[in-house]
C-alpha cells in the first residue's frame, strides 16, 4: 500500500473525538510510513504477509512538490480567465462559450488539486498571494491587448503546463513500472492519480488547440509575448516547487 493512501481524511460520520483520534493515528502512521508494517489480513486462517509498498522520502517529496505546483498552476489559470474574460467577451461576444468552457475546466482542475492537497496534507505554496496577483495582471493585460494576445497567453501557458504534467505522468509511470518489476502490488490510488493527471493534461492541450484555432499565432508581438509568458511559467514552477 502506498503511504499516501494512509492519510485519508476521516469519515464524516465519526464524532469529533473519534475523528481527532483517527487523525492522530493516521499522522503517526504517515510519519513512520517507510517502516515495515505488520500484516492485518487473515487468509485461510493464517495471517497473511502481503508485500506493502510505501513511497520513499524522495518520492513523497516529489509528490508533495508536484501537487503543490499543480494547485498553484490551476489557481493561476482560473484567475487569468477571470481577469481576461470581461474585456475579451465585451469585444468579441462570440468567444463567450469557449471562454466559459475553458474557465469551467480550470475551476474543476483547481478543485481537484485543492482536494488532493487537503487529503495528503500538503501545504499550499507560500507564493499563493503573489501568484494570485501575477495571474490577474497577466489575464487583464492580455485581455486588454485583444483576442489574439489572450489566445497567445493560453497557448504559451498550456505549452508549459502540458510539458509539466507530462513530466509528472512519466515519473509516476516509472514508479509503477518499478513496483511491477519488483512484483509488488500497485496501489489503486496511484492508478487513479495518474489517470487524473492525464485527463487534466489532455484538457490543457485541448485549450492549447482552441487558442491556436482562435489565432493565437496572429498576436502582435507574438514571439516576445509568448516567450515572456513561457519563461514566467517555468520560473513560477521552479519557485513553487521550493516554496
Residue 53 or 71 with smaller CB distance to Fe ion: 71
Residue 10 or 108 with smaller CB distance to Fe ion: 108
Burial of 176 (0-12, 13-18, 19+ CB in 10 A): middle
Residue 54 or 193 with smaller CB distance to Fe ion: 193
Q: Treating both helix axes as pointing N-terminal to C-terminal, what angle do 188-213 and 96-119 enclose, rounded to 10 degrees?
A: 160
Residue 4 or 110 with smaller CB distance to Fe ion: 110
CB of 243 to Fe ion, least distance (A): 21
| Residue numbers at the binding site for Fe ion (CB under 5 A) | 74, 77, 106, 109, 204, 207
Separation of alpha carbons 85 and 63, rounded Å: 33
CB of 56 to Fe ion, least distance (A): 29
CB of 36 to Fe ion, least distance (A): 39
8 Å CB contact between 63 and 113: no
- The residue number whose beta carbon is nearest to Fe ion equals 109
Contacting residues for 8 by C-beta, under 8 A, at least 6 apart: 26, 119
Residue 74 or 148 with smaller CB distance to Fe ion: 74
CB of 186 to Fe ion, least distance (A): 26
8 Å CB contact between 135 and 209: no
CB of 203 to Fe ion, least distance (A): 7
For Cα atoms 70, 75, 80, give the angle at the middle one, nearest 5 degrees. 125
CB of 205 to Fe ion, least distance (A): 9
Residue 77 or 145 with smaller CB distance to Fe ion: 77
Residue 54 or 152 with smaller CB distance to Fe ion: 152
CB of 200 to Fe ion, least distance (A): 6
8 Å CB contact between 110 and 82: no
Amino acid at each position: 500500500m502506498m503511504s499516501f493512501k494512509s492519510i485519508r481524511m476521516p469519515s464524516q460520520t465519526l464524532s469529533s473525538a473519534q475523528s481527532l483520534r483517527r487523525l492522530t493515528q493516521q499522522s503517526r502512521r504517515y510519519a513512520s510510513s517507510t517502516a515495515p508494517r505488520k500484516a492485518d489480513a487473515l487468509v485461510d486462517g493464517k495471517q497473511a504477509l502481503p508485500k506493502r509498498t510505501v513511497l520513499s522520502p524522495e518520492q513523497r517529496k516529489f509528490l508533495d512538490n508536484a501537487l503543490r505546483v499543480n494547485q498553484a498552476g490551476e489557481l493561476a489559470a482560473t484567475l487569468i480567465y477571470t481577469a481576461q474574460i470581461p474585456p475579451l467577451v465585451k469585444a468579441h461576444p462570440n468567444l463567450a462559450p469557449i471562454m466559459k468552457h475553458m474557465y469551467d475546466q480550470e475551476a474543476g482542475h483547481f478543485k481537484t488539486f485543492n482536494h488532493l492537497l487537503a487529503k495528503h496534507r500538503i501545504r499550499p505554496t507560500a507564493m499563493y498571494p503573489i501568484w494570485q496577483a501575477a495571474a490577474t495582471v497577466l489575464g487583464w493585460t492580455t485581455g486588454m491587448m485583444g483576442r489574439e494576445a489572450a489566445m497567445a497567453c493560453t497557448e504559451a501557458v498550456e505549452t508549459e503546463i502540458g510539458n509539466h504534467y507530462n513530466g509528472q505522468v512519466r515519473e509516476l509511470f516509472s514508479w509503477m513500472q518499478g513496483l511491477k518489476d519488483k512484483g509488488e502490488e500497485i496501489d489503486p490510488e496511484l492508478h487513479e492519480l495518474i489517470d487524473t493527471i492525464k485527463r487534466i493534461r489532455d484538457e490543457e492541450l485541448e485549450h492549447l488547440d482552441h487558442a491556436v484555432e482562435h489565432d493565437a499565432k496572429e498576436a502582435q508581438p507574438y514571439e516576445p509575448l509568448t516567450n515572456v509568458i513561457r519563461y514566467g511559467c517555468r520560473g513560477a514552477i521552479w519557485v513553487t516547487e521550493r516554496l
